[in-house]
Structure 1
Amino acid sequence: MELRHLRYFVAVAEEKSFNKAAKRLYISQPPLSRQIKQLEDEIGVTLIDREHRPLKLTEAGDFFYEHAIQILAKSDKLRAMTVRKGSFDSSISIGFVPSILYGLLPKIISCFREVYPNIEIKLQELNSWQQTQALTDGKIDVGFGRLLFEDASIRRILLREESLVVAIPKNHYLAQEGLATINLMDLANENLLLYPTGPRPSFIDYVLELFESRNLKANYFAEVRELHIALGLVAAGEGLTIVPKTLEHLRSQEVNYIPFEDGLLTSPIIMSVRHFDKSDLLKTLLEVTYQFYDKEGFDYKREYI
């Protein structure tokens, strides 16, 4: 059995016609029919009910189709990732979520450039889910995100847990009370500005889960397109938002940032790479990140590529 057999079968299954499948595959119908018959003979079961019009898959055919499309998808991903790996020596493409770019990522990339001054670095704004897709499609080499998604072809490295803080307008009563810390319960009835609206799942879902995991509910919240809009609306007195601590420098003249009690509320910073990709570029990028964390005094657990 070869991949072309799977592609031929999938085309027939989806088109429900040998003639239409042949046109889709840019081959003539007789060779296509022979290839499908050879596939059935090799497996030892009938996959297509040829008496039915339009063509219909047998029960075994339905089972085979579901697995065939998964195998073909994995094959396409493997091809794309391998092609990307072949051009990895001269450039590196990095996906990032905005909250990390506004934080420490630029400084880490600057340190990385000192080690590899001749490597072209390409940056792409992608949310955590999009990074997973871009890695498997061979469009990026590494991603920095904040949400975990399970994918057998992707390895997740938890760099550290970053404390979250509440961004509050300076004229808000919570800001004027001079609180040293705040509790998530205090925000249940406040107007929260959560971001980004899409694609989902996003940081919105992570924040709402923080409430739910503590048997709380965010009773009033609005979804806004991105982080800077949320902070702009906070500065205008339209509500509050929750951001990672490294973003406290943004709009600091207009917004107060109050940490959560005991620093228990955090957001993970996750580095995503393709499984078994052990290139020197990725190893150096991870090592530079840890060196920077050491310099800043961050707590983290070291992992290796």
Structure 2
Amino acid sequence: MDHFFRYTAPMITLRQMTYFLALAETRSFSAAAERVHVTQPALSQQIKEMEATLGTQLVERLPRDIRLTRAGQVVLERTRTILAMTRDLEAEIRLSKGLRGRLALGVIPTIAPYLLPRALTRIRAAALDLDMRVREAQTAELISLVAHGHLDAAVIALPYDTEGLTARPLFRDRFLLAGSRDRIAAATTTPRPTDLSPDTLLLLEEGHCLADQALEVCGLRRQRRTVDLGASSLATLCGLVAQGFGLTLVPELALCTEMAASPDMAVTRFTAPEPSRTVALVRRQSTEVKEWFTALGDLLSEAGEELLAEARRRG
């Protein structure tokens, strides 16, 4: 009787790729092991097995650092792609029946505290089976997390480079000029953004897209160093200008919350066309329309428009 033996060549695993990505990003075996919740020897063994399977060295082990070899750089690029595709597949299955299962959403700090309380109430009512996890971070980080599959979607403000992502505009959020009551009352004409002096303009610290957008509408991008870019939150800015420390631009979405927190702050609208940002929901590109994405966008849009209507009555 003939006997046949099947030989299966060793293959690298998703676990090994996950460990390798953590090592490449942290540049430390101990930090990588902590990130993926394993012991350092276990992670090191998996990296060695990955190298043996591929037949090449991926990592140069230095006394206090690690360095990727040329082959390691190639593997890192492919690893990121494969893991992102895997997470995308998992999300596709999780959310294949609409807003059910688990959904990871990112929101930028100048939107999250204003939109989320109203939006989450609507989402809970419409999707009782949804386990939503929210991450608040600046735009660049959220874009990266969505692109690499760590988040299913994110709420950001446009204009912003969203190459590789699909963006759905939710609503237009106009900017208003905010300052102390005396300062705003003393204005004799309706202001234009380009008339604002950089010496009096307070904005968020660098990295916040709201600061970039405000500088752009005021025509001050090239004079960035002359503008005070130091506050870490919009609430801090509003508190400062309410006490007479300059002027700032406040999104209409934040108006009701910030005026309640800073009752000495006053606002005025700009001349038409009013400067604004577009709040949008983004996800990874796909050839098919996502039911969950459409449903989530509708709920976020409804909540945003409701808040803007209240702000217009207040402002």
TM-score by length of 1: 0.68
Q: 2:173·2:276 contact (CA, 8 Å) conserved in 1? A: yes
Counterpart for residue 271 of structure 1 = 281
Q: 1:94·1:141 contact (CA, 8 Å) conserved in 2? A: yes
Determine which of 8, 18, 25 is the counterpart of 2:47: 25
Residue by residue over 1:47-97, the C-alpha shift from the partner in whole angstroms, topping out at 9 and shown as x without a partner, is xxxxxxxxxxxxxx96x8765543332112222333444444322222112
Secondary structure class of the residue paired with 1:243: strand
Counterpart for residue 254 of structure 1 = 264
Write the distance in 2 (CA, Å) between the matches of 1:227 and 1:28. 47
Q: Which runs of 5+ in 2 are unaligned?
A: 1-9, 25-43, 57-68, 310-315
Residue 268 and residue 218 in structure 1: after superposition, are their counterparts in 2 closer, same or farther (change >3 A)? Answer: farther
Q: 2:198·2:220 contact (CA, 8 Å) conserved in 1? A: no
Write the distance in 1 (CA, Å) between the matches of 2:137 and 2:124. 21
Counterpart for residue 82 of structure 2 = 75
Equivalent AA in structure 2 for residue 26 of structure 1? K
Determine which of 163, 185, 193 is the counterpart of 2:194: 185
Counterpart for residue 140 of structure 1 = 151
Q: 2:171·2:305 contact (CA, 8 Å) conserved in 1? A: no
Write the distance in 1 (CA, Å) between the matches of 2:49 and 2:131. 42
Residue 66 and residue 25 in structure 1: after superposition, are their counterparts in 2 closer, same or farther (change >3 A)? Answer: closer
Residue 26 and residue 274 in structure 1: after superposition, are their counterparts in 2 closer, same or farther (change >3 A)? Answer: same
Write the distance in 2 (CA, Å) between the matches of 1:239 and 1:28. 58
Secondary structure class of the residue paired with 2:103: strand
Counterpart for residue 110 of structure 1 = 121
Q: 1:192·1:222 contact (CA, 8 Å) conserved in 2? A: no
Provide the identity percentage. 15
Residue 155 and residue 3 in structure 1: after superposition, are their counterparts in 2 closer, same or farther (change >3 A)? Answer: farther
Q: How many matched pairs?
A: 257
Counterpart for residue 35 of structure 2 = none
RMSD: 3.9
TM-score by length of 2: 0.66
Counterpart for residue 158 of structure 1 = 169
Write the distance in 2 (CA, Å) between the matches of 1:101 and 1:25. 39
Q: Which runs of 5+ in 1 are unaligned?
A: 15-21, 37-60, 299-305
1:101 shift after superposition: 2.8
